[in-house]
């Protein structure tokens, strides 16, 4: 394991995790789950696509559901600061030997399709169409009251490679996990927006999307959303929690599986990390159990994840669970 | 199964679940758990006994911990309305062929020791010494902020017998569980104070105390107390939850095991049931899974309980779990 | 001031505050306030009447709104334990020289109309039609999530007379307020159901209904309902709070004025008071400011109240505010 | 009013509001307020100074209290990204004709003292000594559980000048208020860290510090801290709220006055604003009342503020309240 130097002024500026595009089998069932139950706001919809956002988001969408025969994750979306940064990003990815293509995506500005070094399909854009923030439209607040997208967790057998690649683009390492008594890297937590994660890479067969995470306001929403999910026929979708992470991020969480098996984390709290003296926090796997209460993550949480459309799966060298909590 | 008629004006008035007396191996460890972590108020303590109450309680104690080689529950405490009711209770228990004895108990008025028909050791009193309610002493509020005792759950192979006995004393049946497709009684929820339970009997080897339950103010206390328990070295004491009961009482709960294995339920919400049109709610075991989310109760929750000091254990006729949730 | 003896076994059993009947000018506007915003459940409605209940209530209604040219309170409803108690109540009120009449009221069992000694129009019944409790129907929970009716506050220049009358019927005095340095009674808090109040009498011109109070689950509902009221055009209805009472009941409250000016209190917390050693708590007016924060009640809260239909208004001997907080 | 262009890559990088230095008359009284009641963590203290931080902060301090005969605000602290940025900042301020001086400040890296164009005394540093984040030290969480510093609000008669100056340093304008029907600028909300404010300037006699703001976790903490303040003898310190801002930031807030009259805002929620399509939100003064409930800010909140040590006070041209809410 080697932690690269932080690049404070990268050649182009990625600002944050932006959105995720998921394939779903039955758009109406997904609507019942994400909109009627969890409380996402519909920005637009047609026969084949649902564009959703959280209550505080003024951008058009942070969650895109596409009707499809597959049940893959199509792409993870990242934002650049400006249009110029998009062109500089194209140059950067090309130089790295990665495919790039500018495409038209509804409700987004110019959009660059590319792939990172571990095979994650990405799309970068600088702007989206705007929508009203619904912070004060209290009559629309229901379910979990999702506020905004926060981060993605991606599984890959090449955590070190992902770390090197993202830190070269200016991501900062907030926390990381190594195997006990070794420098064997199990997980890295990378951020651009000043809180613990925008994108996380965890050692496992991949590339696969473990989860996309959205913020919710308070602890009571964690408990209430489970009750409402049960009532609306989605009781089995509560995979793990409500609980507390005794490791990176310290989040109070609940993990849900949507009708297609995609995993969504809802959580209430992170911390701010902006300053240069915030050195990456090093965890050994066994540290993660200090102070813990509650159930350990179920096998499904440890092993299952959404495939990325078109991505070939690689296995990690060691079969042991990467992130055995 | 037969549900007896409700006795609206019994010969003597029991008013509520009052207190529980538990034997503990190490009083300081129990203090760390109940006082320093959960937030119970100490009314009095000496070398061998700790008298605790909840923040809203003006009575002297609702939880008594006694240093002892055993780790049994000594007695469940019930309140009568007046001193006269105590004498009438003595008469009633004697007539039922049950042992009765007036004893001196510190900080309690005249106290009647007796045993119910299923072998549960009881103590009845009409009054206690008073203490200041700590509702407005906000600097004392910490941990789970326990408010008051609410109910006991007792395991017994003779649920029908317990039902008949307690209803004859004026307890009202709020809810009950039968086996699927039969009248085979699995659990009865009995109350005097106008909310769902003061005492609950569930089919299992007994008599044993499954748990004593205390109210806490809000959902966030359910989550916070788990975090604090973990931090204070009691993470493993979180046996089940935080979760929701999809059956009698509908409580949002967490079940804890104290340092001696005694089980405590903390919960936030019950409903009022005072009116005569509130007929007992009938549940079949399989109804209990409707709308459920989260983990099922662990085996320990289904099988383990505190013995009552001096009580002989009887096994149920059927080995099947009484209350398979 | 004299506090009568508590009557533990009165000639008939009143069990609790049951319901309130309010006249309103525009039923649709009241529906927008109570149902669409506060979150009451509609049990029944026709052109002229709206029958509402809280989410945990299994009885048909706790709040009845009648379309009317007046904007009075028609009656306060109390429950008796049994039908026999109703007949015994009739005898009692008759003996006291008060008017009694059995009437048919929709969705209620036999109903006795009468008036108390200070002129409050009452209706007593032993049963109502039942409705499903909505505790687990989470998709119906919105607004303030009102749970159940708790108590009434009535203004009267004859607080002592009300106290004597209600205690003779078995009500217990939980708390009372006297003027500083005197025995001049300003307010009495009376209960039957084991928490601090079912009915409160406060010295002022009366009889008038100061407010009816409903429980809500958590502190966050106090804040959220204000936001939603503002959003729905009812911002001016927030009369006082969210705040804390530094006196009887200790409630965390918000006081609202409905579209007709009737006052509703929403609050989260009370304490249990069942035991005989719970002596009435004596407050002097100046005690009420100990530990206080926040705004004092506005003049409207101190002076305005709903008239009772058909009741003649009496002024208190002293003009000073009875309950100057 | 003219809104300058956003400077995306300024000559040096300020990252966030960092800390505030307040003069206090009695350090022990301030400790009782900030530490024992509000729940700030003590990083260091000596006879004359108290260094405090929030529970999630890993930097040494965000609030510095200095024993002093004056009761002024000494300085507002801002962070730069790197040491190089500090030197570039020195150059920038010098070029603007503003005083600059590198000084030694305990527990801070190299620190630049300077003054902005409206007379606010500033200190900039790139790093501080580190301290453990207390996110998981649940036994230390009490009072309001303050998490971290968020922003400052400064009063000045030269809002436009402040706007021009801060935007030239790369601050982005998230929201602003103009007088009704005019372009007369009343308040500007400026940010660097991706949420609505780091520093706010409001039209009024100045420069004065209106308040420093700290985040707290949940709505219930807003209510609880008022109760605890009252209990600890600080009831009168609750100046306004708990309430909701119906304007810039939309925060759920409570404003407190500390023992020296310095004003602190505690609030729970802001939104993320990072994207280029997030145009500044324009408010007219009268817009601020849309949807409002609760009390308007007291006169003290509208007029009083802490002087900055050594700063000459200027009056606004118009006497009218700048920010009449």
Mind listing the pLDDT tens digit for each residue in A278-293? 999 999 999 988 889 9
Mean pLDDT of chain B: 95
B64 min Cα distance to partner chain D (Å): 25
pLDDT at C21 over 50: yes
Mean pLDDT of chain C: 95
Q: At what angle do helices D219-231 and C219-231 cross, to 10 degrees?
A: 120
Q: At what angle do helices A219-231 and B219-231 cross, to 10 degrees?
A: 120
CB contact under 8 A, A133 and D271: yes
pLDDT at C35 over 70: yes
Task: Provide the percentage of residues in chain C whose pLDDT is more than 70.
Answer: 98
pLDDT at C306 over 60: yes
Which of C139, C145, C226 to substitute to test the interface with A, most A CBs within 10 Å?
A: C139
Q: How confident is the model at residue A57 (pLDDT cuts 50, 70, 90)?
A: very high
All partners of chain C with 3 or more CB pairs under 8 angstroms: A, B, D
The count of CB pairs under 8 A between chains B and C is 92
pLDDT at B317 over 90: no
What would the mean pLDDT of C7-23 be, rounded to a whole number? 97
Contact list, C227 vs chain A (CB under 8 Å): 136, 138
- D7-19 pLDDT, tens digit per residue, is 999 999 999 999 9
CB contact under 8 A, C193 and B272: yes
B227 min Cα distance to partner chain D (Å): 7
- B206-230 pLDDT, tens digit per residue, is 999 999 999 999 999 999 999 999 9
Query: pTM value?
Result: 0.97
All partners of chain A with 3 or more CB pairs under 8 angstroms: B, C, D
CB contact under 8 A, D15 and A130: no
pLDDT at C235 over 80: yes
Q: How confident is the model at residue D322 (pLDDT cuts 50, 70, 90)?
A: very low
- A100-142 pLDDT, tens digit per residue, is 999 999 999 999 999 999 999 999 999 999 999 999 999 999 9
CB contact under 8 A, A295 and B293: no
Q: Tell me, what's the pLDDT at C320?
A: 53
Q: Tell me, what's the pLDDT at C60?
A: 98
From CA B139, how far away is CA A140, in angstroms rounded?
37
A127 min Cα distance to partner chain D (Å): 6
CB contact under 8 A, B236 and A293: yes
Q: Tell me, what's the pLDDT at A321?
A: 54
CB contact under 8 A, A232 and C139: yes
B218, B219, B276 ranked by CB distance to C81: nearest: B276
Q: What is the ipTM for the molecules in this complex?
A: 0.96
pLDDT at C324 over 80: no
B218, B236, B291 ranked by CB distance to A230: nearest: B291
A8, A135, A275 ranked by CB distance to D59: nearest: A275
CB contact under 8 A, C293 and D235: yes
Q: Which of D108, D146, D157, D188 is nearest to D312 (CA)?
A: D157
Cβ neighbours of residue C263 closer than 8 Å, sequence gap 6 or more: C209, C210, C211, C212, C239, C255, C256, C257, C301, C304, C305, C306
pLDDT at A70 over 70: yes
CB contact under 8 A, D138 and B218: no
CB contact under 8 A, D246 and C252: no
Q: Tell me, what's the pLDDT at D317?
A: 79
C138, C218, C231 ranked by CB distance to A138: nearest: C231
B136, B138, B227 ranked by CB distance to D138: nearest: B227
Q: Tell me, what's the pLDDT at A325?
A: 44
CB contact under 8 A, D272 and A56: yes
Q: Tell me, what's the pLDDT at C270?
A: 86
Mean pLDDT of chain D: 95
Q: How confident is the model at residue B1 (pLDDT cuts 50, 70, 90)?
A: confident
What would the mean pLDDT of A166-189 be, rounded to a whole number? 96
Mean pLDDT of chain A: 95
Q: How many CB atoms within 10 Å of residue B317?
A: 9
Q: Tell me, what's the pLDDT at C290?
A: 85
Q: Tell me, what's the pLDDT at D269?
A: 83
Q: How confident is the model at residue B320 (pLDDT cuts 50, 70, 90)?
A: low
pLDDT at D325 over 80: no
A302 min Cα distance to partner chain B (Å): 17
pLDDT at C323 over 60: no
Kindly state the helix (H) or strand (E) to which residue D198 belongs, with its residue range. Answer: none
Describe the strand order of the beta sheet including D14-24 as a list of residue ranges. Answer: D41-45, D49-53, D63-67, D14-24, D73-80, D121-125, D111-115, D100-103
CB contact under 8 A, D231 and B142: no
Provide residues of D within 8 Å CB-CB of chain B: 136-139, 142, 218, 220, 224, 227-228, 230-232
pLDDT at B321 over 90: no
What would the mean pLDDT of B126-138 be, rounded to a whole number? 97
pLDDT at B322 over 50: no
pLDDT at D143 over 60: yes
Which of A11, A131, A191, A275 to substitute to test the interface with D, most D CBs within 10 Å?
A: A275
CB contact under 8 A, C293 and D238: yes
- B225-246 pLDDT, tens digit per residue, is 999 999 999 999 999 999 999 9
Contact list, D147 vs chain A (CB under 8 Å): 271
Per the CB < 8 A criterion, the answer to whether B199 and B154 are in contact is yes
CB contact under 8 A, B148 and C274: no
β-partners of residue D283 are: D177
- B151-208 pLDDT, tens digit per residue, is 999 999 999 999 999 999 999 999 999 999 999 999 999 999 999 999 999 999 999 9
Q: Tell me, what's the pLDDT at C204?
A: 96
Q: How confident is the model at residue C321 (pLDDT cuts 50, 70, 90)?
A: low
Provide residues of B within 8 Å CB-CB of chain C: 8, 15-16, 56, 58-59, 79, 81-82, 126-130, 133, 135-136, 147-148, 193-194, 217-219, 246, 250, 268-269, 271-279, 291
- C239-282 pLDDT, tens digit per residue, is 999 999 999 999 999 999 999 999 999 999 889 999 999 999 99
From CA D122, how far away is CA D129, in angstroms rounded?
19
What are the E-state strand segments in chain B? 14-24, 41-45, 49-53, 63-67, 73-80, 100-103, 111-115, 121-125, 148-156, 172-178, 185-191, 199-203, 208-215, 238-244, 252-257, 263-267, 281-284, 306-307
Task: Provide the percentage of residues in chain A whose pLDDT is more than 90.
Answer: 94
Per the CB < 8 A criterion, the answer to whether A195 and A272 are in contact is yes
Q: Which of D216, D219, D232 is nearest to D264 (CA)?
A: D216
């Amino acid at each position: 394991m080697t932690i690269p130097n932080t690049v404070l002024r990268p050649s182009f500026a990625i600002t944050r995790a932006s959105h995720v595009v998921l394939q779903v089998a039955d758009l109406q069932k997904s609507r019942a789950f994400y909109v009627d139950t969890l409380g996402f706001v519909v920005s637009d919809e047609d026969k084949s696509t649902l564009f959703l956002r959280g209550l505080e988001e003024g951008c058009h969408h942070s969650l895109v559901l596409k009707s499809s025969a597959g049940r893959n994750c199509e792409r993870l979306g990242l934002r650049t600061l400006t249009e110029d940064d998009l062109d500089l990003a194209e140059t950067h990815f090309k130089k790295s030997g990665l495919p790039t293509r500018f495409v038209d995506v509804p409700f987004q500005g110019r959009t660059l399709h590319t792939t990172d070094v571990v095979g994650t399909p990405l799309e970068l854009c600088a702007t989206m169409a705007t929508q009203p923030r619904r912070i004060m439209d209290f009559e629309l607040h229901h379910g979990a009251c999702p506020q905004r997208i926060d981060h993605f967790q991606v599984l890959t057998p090449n955590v070190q490679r992902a770390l090197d690649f993202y830190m070269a683009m200016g991501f900062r390492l907030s926390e990381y996990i190594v195997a006990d008594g070794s420098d064997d890297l199990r997980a890295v937590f990378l951020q651009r927006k000043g809180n613990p994660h925008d994108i996380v890479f965890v050692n496992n067969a991949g590339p696969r999307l473990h989860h996309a995470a959205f913020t919710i306001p308070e602890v009571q929403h964690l408990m209430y959303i489970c009750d409402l999910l049960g009532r609306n026929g989605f009781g089995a979708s509560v995979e793990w929690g409500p609980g507390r992470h005794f490791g990176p991020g310290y989040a109070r969480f609940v993990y849900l599986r949507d009708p297609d098996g995609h995993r969504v984390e809802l959580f209430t709290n992170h911390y701010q990390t902006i300053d240069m003296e915030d050195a990456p926090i090093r965890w050994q796997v066994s540290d993660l159990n200090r102070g813990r209460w509650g159930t350990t993550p179920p096998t499904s949480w440890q092993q299952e994840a959404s495939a990325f459309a078109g991505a070939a799966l690689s296995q990690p060298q060691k079969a042991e669970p990467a992130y055995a909590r």
